[in-house]
Amino acid sequence: MLPIAVSGAAAILFVALGGSAVAKTLIRTGDIATGAVTSRTVKNGTITPRDLNASSKRTLRGSTGAAGVNGANGPNGANGANGADGADGVDGVNGTNGSDGADGADGADGADGVLSPLSATAGLTALPTASPPTVVVALTVPAADYVVLAKTQLFHSGAGDTVDCTLKAGATTIDQVSMKTLPALASIPVSLQAVTTTSPSQLSVECDVSVANGTANFSSLIAIPVN
């Protein structure tokens, strides 16, 4: 029997091809001559890719096939985290002022206030001789129209004396009385009255004596509003 040299894989193939004709004793690689095993002697379908070396595998590669059909789109991924806030934009230009609204209707006039009569009284007041007139009673009143009534009682110590009294609204004289050549130690009642229109003002009674000292007593002043 001639010696046959084959590779280890070829030896196995040879055993597979031998069938009943193969000796029961295993044929070793060294028993097969180089080139003795050809494609004709190899049984079809018995050589697998793992039996081939790398260079033989490369020769079996065909040309690249056509691209396969694209697969279906995968599910959407989860939303990413929100990005940082952008910088604030520049303020816009101020709008023009709106037109003024129409004036509201005037409210109804309130009821007129009511003024009550006003009054003042005074006791004993000295009237020095040859002095400027002395205020014997006074009353401050708000603006209004008034009927004004005033009285006092005058006493003087000298005979033939003269006594003058005036009723004033502010600096304006609105009534006056003068008594002359009175007897000594006379005590004379005096009354004054007037109708006047005042801004806020003071009503007053002023008196003086010409010769001897005197006094005024039991003085009163009443202002009765008429509007």
Give the start-to-end residue ranges of the domains of the chain.
Answer: 8-58, 118-225
Three-state secondary-structure class, residue 32:
strand
Q: What residues contact residue 198 under an 8 Å CB cut-off, 6+ apart?
A: 141, 143, 144, 146, 169, 170
Minimum mean pLDDT range among 5-14, 100-109, 163-172, 179-188: 5-14
Q: Does residue 13 carry a pLDDT above 50?
A: no
Q: What architecture is domain 118-225?
A: Sandwich (2.60)
Query: Has residue 60 got a pLDDT over 50?
Result: yes
SS3 94: coil
Percent of the chain with pLDDT over 70: 83
Lowest model confidence (mean pLDDT) among 3-17, 80-94, 205-219: 3-17
- Share the mean pLDDT of the chain: 81
Position 155 scores a pLDDT of 86
Residue 25 pLDDT grade (very low, low, confident, very high; cuts 50, 70, 90): low
Q: Which of 170, 162, 178 is nearest to 140 (CA)?
A: 170
pLDDT of residue 102: 92
Question: Measured between alpha carbons, how far is 210 from 161 in angstroms, rounded to an integer?
Answer: 6
- Per-residue confidence (pLDDT) for residue 2, from 0 to 100: 40
